[in-house]
Amino acid sequence: MFRIHPIPAFSDNYIWCLCDTDSGKALIVDPGQARPVLEFLSANNLAADTLLITHHHPDHVGGVRDLIEQFPDLRIIGPDNSPFKKCTETVTSGSEVVWQDIRFRVYAVPGHTLDHVAYFSDTPVEGQPVLFSGDTLFVGGCGRLFEGTAGQMQKSLAQLRALPDTTAVYCAHEYTLANLKFARHWLPGDAALAEFEADCQALRNQGQPTVPGTLGQEKKLNLFLRWDDPEVIAAARDYANAAGLSADNSPASVFAAVRHGKDHF
């Protein structure tokens, strides 16, 4: 039986553990810290044999060295164009990664960083297809553009938006309430956003994560995926005009206005 568990790290990171409870093997996604991973594995009688890396930022790879010391035969998989050089296998867009009969397709999703990849499997885990999206797609948001352009990020998100609605989105940060605060500011009359914000606040009040979300939910609610929604287009145009940005109704332009708005919110 396969299960996915969040391992909290730093102040708001999630390191994901995909485990096979029958064999005791575990796949770890983006281990920014080693200690919480090792504590979780020990408490659950698991042994890591594979790491998936989405991109090179320290809060995603900072624990790799210590995990190698504990598990010398680790399989470490990450993007081939990355500044992070401790991978034992590298992947590019369209590559396939197989772990315990689960097949992941690799998507190159530059924008947050140029080396960013996402891992998608249509093999159901806990009843749903799985997307490990790193810092590209968050619940209610997307990653800042540290290295790529708005056009690159919009095209990257378009790839992910095309995946099945039932896909569970396992992102790397608990940013949901901040993302929804911004979205509600842009679209104060959006009743679905208001309801979702209340549901997420209730989860956080109980100490529960808001992640994973579902891709179908994100397509309806996430402003960064709604570049063809008339309400978002109108709000983006108004914002761009007020901010002195170039504005048209193209997906890249709408996305760029939303991203700029979030960055300056």
Tens-level pLDDT at each residue, the chain (265 residues)? 999 999 999 999 999 999 999 999 999 999 999 999 999 999 999 999 999 999 999 999 999 999 999 999 999 999 999 999 999 999 999 999 999 999 999 999 999 999 999 999 999 999 999 999 999 999 999 999 999 999 999 999 999 999 999 999 999 999 999 999 999 999 999 999 999 999 999 999 999 999 999 999 999 999 999 999 999 999 999 999 999 988 789 999 999 999 999 999 9
State the pLDDT at residue 246. 80
State the pLDDT at residue 157. 98
Name the catalytic one among 30, 49, 56, 60.
60
Q: Return the SS3 of 30.
A: coil
Q: Is residue 165 annotated as involved in ligand binding?
A: no
Domains contained in the chain, CATH given: 2-225 (3.60.15.10)
State the pLDDT at residue 248. 87
Residue 59 annotated as catalytic: yes
Residue 264 annotated as catalytic: no
- Reported pTM: 0.97
Q: Is residue 73 annotated as involved in ligand binding?
A: no
Name the catalytic one among 57, 115, 116, 190.
57
Q: Is residue 173 annotated as involved in ligand binding?
A: yes
Q: Is residue 185 annotated as involved in ligand binding?
A: no
Q: How many other β-carbons are positioned within 10 Å of the β-carbon of residue 85? A: 8
Residue 248 annotated as catalytic: no
Q: Residue 247 is which amino acid? A: A
Residue 55 annotated as catalytic: yes
Residue 228 annotated as catalytic: no
Residue 173 annotated as catalytic: yes
Q: Is residue 56 annotated as involved in ligand binding?
A: no
Residue 260 annotated as catalytic: no
Question: Which residues, 6 or more positions from 92, have their beta carbon under 8 angstroms from its beta carbon?
Answer: 79, 80, 81, 106, 108
State the pLDDT at residue 208. 97
Name the catalytic one among 20, 30, 115, 135.
135
Q: Is residue 57 annotated as involved in ligand binding?
A: yes
Q: What's the token pair of residue 70?
A: 């504990």
Strand order, beta sheet including 117-125: 96-99, 102-108, 117-125, 128-134, 168-171, 213-214
